Copies of this chain bind each other. A is one copy, B any other.
Amino acid sequence: MLTLSGGDIAAMDSRYRAAFINGLSGLRPAQLIGTVGADGEHNLAIFNSVCHVGAHPPLLGIISRPNSVSRHTLENITATGCYTINHVTEAFFKAAHQTSARYDGSEFDAVGLTAIKGSLSAPYVAESPLSIGLQHKQTIDLDINGTHFVIGEVVEVRVQEDAIAEDGAIDLHRIGSISVGGLDHYYRVSSIARMSYAKPDKPLERLDSGD
């Protein structure tokens, strides 16, 4: 094992440090956020910082850097009050990654993905097996480093029908949802097991069939 101190990290070259630190938080989700501007133009941007905030009310968060390519996403969310989160699969991960380039017009056209309309003005990605429509609730500015924590409430879900287990759980492997490590490493997943609720004096059981 290698041990690095805070001083070792501070002394890293800034690009090396960005790559290193971005890996520490572990496996992240890969999603495209769809928005529409006040001028009606669609925007689509890849994010790896969507997080669960709560189930009731159903809330999701996004952590967004200041002055990044994702700035249009934040501006549009503030202007229109809505956005969509669309899971990325291996079938279109290159197009999804390409949305991080600085385009003038709609990224849907630029990278070859299909915008479709739900009940919100923000567009969904037709190629995605799981898309979530959100209403913006709150943006918390993190003074510690100038990032923004954006919280929205789930108001619509489009999901592949066979993805939901009897108890409500979504099988992310079945829909082909992928993961990102650090800034640019994409991973596919395979199931290890679903585990039962843990109690002190009871052995764990598998909830899935084990196949």
State the A residues within 8 Å of B (CB): 1-6, 9, 12-31, 48-61, 63, 65, 85, 87, 90, 93-94, 97-103, 110, 118-119, 130, 132, 137-138, 140, 142, 144-145, 147, 149, 151, 153-161, 164-165, 167-173, 177-179, 181-200, 204, 207-208
Interchain CB contact under 8 A, A14 and B173 = no
Q: Are A145 and B57 in contact (CB-based, < 8 A)?
A: yes
Known pairs A24-B157, A169-B19; A100 contacts B188 (CB<8 A): no
Contact A185 B179, CB 8 Å, known A15-B167, A53-B145, A58-B21: no
Known: A14-B56, A16-B168, A58-B17. A25 touches B4 (CB 8 A): no
Give the distance in Å from the alpha carbon of A179 to the alpha carbon of B28 in the complex. 8
Kindly list the 4 A-B residue pairs having the minimum CB-CB distance in the complex, ordered from nearest.
A26-B29, A23-B170, A16-B168, A19-B168
Q: How far is the CB of A18 from chain B (nearest CB, A)?
A: 4
Q: Are B169 and A1 in contact (CB under 8 A)?
A: no
Once the chains are docked, how many angstroms separate the CA of A98 from the CA of B154?
A: 30
Q: What residues on B are CB-neighbors of A192 within 8 Å?
A: 90, 93, 178, 186-188
B4 pairs with A157, CB closer than 8 A: yes
Q: Of the candidates B5, B22, B155, B184, which one forms a contact with A55 in the assembled complex, judged by CB atoms under 8 Å apart?
A: B22
In the complex, what residues of B have CB within 8 A of residue A29's CB?
Answer: 25-28
The minimal Cβ–Cβ distance linking A81 to chain B, given in whole angstroms, is 14
* Residue pair A103, B168 in contact (C-beta under 8 Å): no
Residues of B within 8 A of A178 (CB): 27, 192
A195 in complex: contacting residue of B17, B94, B187, B196, CB < 8 Å: B94
Q: In the bound complex, how far is the Cα of B65 from the Cα of A19, in angstroms?
A: 30
